[in-house]
Amino acid sequence: MCKNEMVIGQLGLDYRGMNLNGELIRVLGVIDFSVLPKEQKKGYGKMMLNELDRLAMKNKHNIDFLFKKTKTTPKRSGFCLSLTDQALD
């Protein structure tokens, strides 16, 4: 994400196919998600997550967040933790 030609945030994705009980599922893995500290709390992160959600729904992909759980886990944007994530607490 850019503001005045300066990168202020990024969303790194890993796209892959996985086998779920013999069925091929497409997964978008979020491997990096950040917004510059001075640009946080301005809605830029939420805009990136909303665009990710729109693309995943349009293309029928699941979304996995593959990074350490922090206080800013994307639950505020409507995403939820899986049982695997909760087991890591």
Domain map (residue ranges) of the chain? 2-87
Would you put residue 84 in left (φ > 0), alpha (ψ -120 to 50) or beta? alpha
Q: Does CATH place domain 2-87 in 3.40.630.30?
A: yes
What is this structure's pTM? 0.65
pLDDT tens string, the chain, 89 residues long: the values are 888 898 999 988 888 888 889 998 888 888 888 899 999 999 998 898 888 888 888 877 777 766 565 555 566 666 665 555 444 44
